[in-house]
């Protein structure tokens, strides 16, 4: 595998509404995706078949993980095993890196 070097700050691009996602890296068993959500956008409760880690880069929001609410702000890290229910809302424009692993 070749090295992957990205300046995530330069990749952040907020849509006027909704969600913009960009796959940053995808290799066997790992996918890193940058999510940029406009203020007020919500992702309804769902689960993932993969383990998921989330790192907030910019903005504020609220995330529910297995029924427990967590405030999202820069530098917050969340890890969820596969099949954990979760939902989130962007209180401001919100950018985070989502890392899915097998």
Q: How confident is the model at residue 74, as a pLDDT?
A: 98
Ordered domains of the chain (ranges, CATH): 8-101 (2.60.120.10)
Mean per-residue pLDDT over the chain, rounded: 96
C-alpha Rg value of the chain to the nearest Å: 13
Q: Rounded to whole angstroms, how far apart are CA atoms 83 and 89?
A: 19
Give the helix ranges, DSSP H, for the chain: 8-11
pLDDT tens track for 35-77: 999 999 999 999 999 999 999 999 999 999 999 999 999 999 9
What are the φ/ψ torsions at residue 10 (nearest 5 degrees)?
Answer: -75, -20
3-state secondary structure of 38: coil
């Amino acid at each position: 595998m070749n090295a992957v070097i990205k300046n995530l700050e330069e990749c952040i691009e907020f849509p006027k509404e909704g969600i913009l996602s960009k796959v940053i890296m995808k290799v066997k068993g790992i996918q890193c995706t940058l999510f940029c959500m406009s203020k007020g956008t919500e992702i309804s409760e769902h689960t993932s078949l993969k383990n998921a880690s989330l790192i907030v880069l910019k903005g504020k929001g609220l995330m529910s993980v297995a029924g427990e609410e967590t405030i999202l702000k820069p530098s917050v890290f969340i890890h969820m095993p596969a099949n954990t229910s979760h939902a989130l809302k962007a209180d401001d424009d919100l950018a985070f890196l989502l890392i899915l692993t097998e």
